Amino acid sequence: MKLNIFPKEEKFFELFDHQAQLVKKICRQFQDLLDNFEGEDASEIVKQIKATESEADELCHEILVKLARSFVTPIDREDIHLLAHHMDDILDYVQGAADRLFLFKVNKLGHGIRELSEILNECSEILVKAMKRLPKFEDISELRKQMTILETRGDDVNRQAVAELFASADSVTDVLELIKWKEIIGCAENGVDKMEDVLDVLEGVVIKHA
């Protein structure tokens, strides 16, 4: 049995950057899905979203395996674990929203989902920028503030959308639609929340290495 007695630092920063790019990709795909919701391309876009999420699952697994095998890591092991899982959660939530659009057989797009999609895309851009700064532990405070503003917008859109659904629920059919859209919107908004969680971890890492 071969033993590796020398510490090895895996390229975690590159792997995190790849994860961030997949987050950006799936957010763009979700927006494309909404833009083509009633078109023939919709089912194909759902397949693309699933493929992106599957690639992200493999990448998350790779990061965790490398973490388990590494004696020396560039940042705290706990932070590596959190970053990998938080970014994987974002992709899970976005795919969850896309899946529910079709599993629930909704006929038209509901309140707030387009705006949440736009917020997800803006958040993903910030996430990619913040991840680029990680290797040199550059300050991300202004990016963190931008993310907080977007997360607050996401909360507001979620609450307003649900309030409008309740206000318009006059029949059993309306109530069923409310239940469907509450789940779909909830998934998208959870994705926004996880974006902020990633920035929280990154900010903590930068502070530790300042």
With respect to residue 6, please indicate whether it lies within any of the assigned structural domains. Answer: no
pTM confidence score: 0.92
Residue 187 banded pLDDT, cuts 50, 70, 90: very high
With respect to residue 108, please indicate whether it lies within any of the assigned structural domains. Answer: yes
Residue 186 banded pLDDT, cuts 50, 70, 90: very high
Instruction: List Cβ neighbours of 139 (8 Å cut-off, separation of 6 or more).
Output: 133, 206
With respect to residue 133, please indicate whether it lies within any of the assigned structural domains. Answer: yes
User: Residue 146 maps to which CATH number?
Assistant: 1.20.58.220
pLDDT at 7 exceeding the cut of 50: no
Q: Which domain holds residue 66?
A: 12-208
With respect to residue 122, please indicate whether it lies within any of the assigned structural domains. Answer: yes
Separation of alpha carbons 19 and 124, rounded Å: 11
**Helix H or strand E segment including 103:** helix 77-103
- 129-173: per-residue pLDDT in tens? 999 999 999 999 999 999 999 999 999 999 998 888 888 777 877
Q: What is the pLDDT of residue 25?
A: 98
With respect to residue 193, please indicate whether it lies within any of the assigned structural domains. Answer: yes
With respect to residue 3, please indicate whether it lies within any of the assigned structural domains. Answer: no
With respect to residue 171, please indicate whether it lies within any of the assigned structural domains. Answer: yes
With respect to residue 2, please indicate whether it lies within any of the assigned structural domains. Answer: no
Number of domains composing the chain: 1
Residue environment code for 99-128, b if the CB has 16+ CB neighbours within 10 A, otherwise e: bbbeeeebeebbbbbebbbbbbebbbbbbe
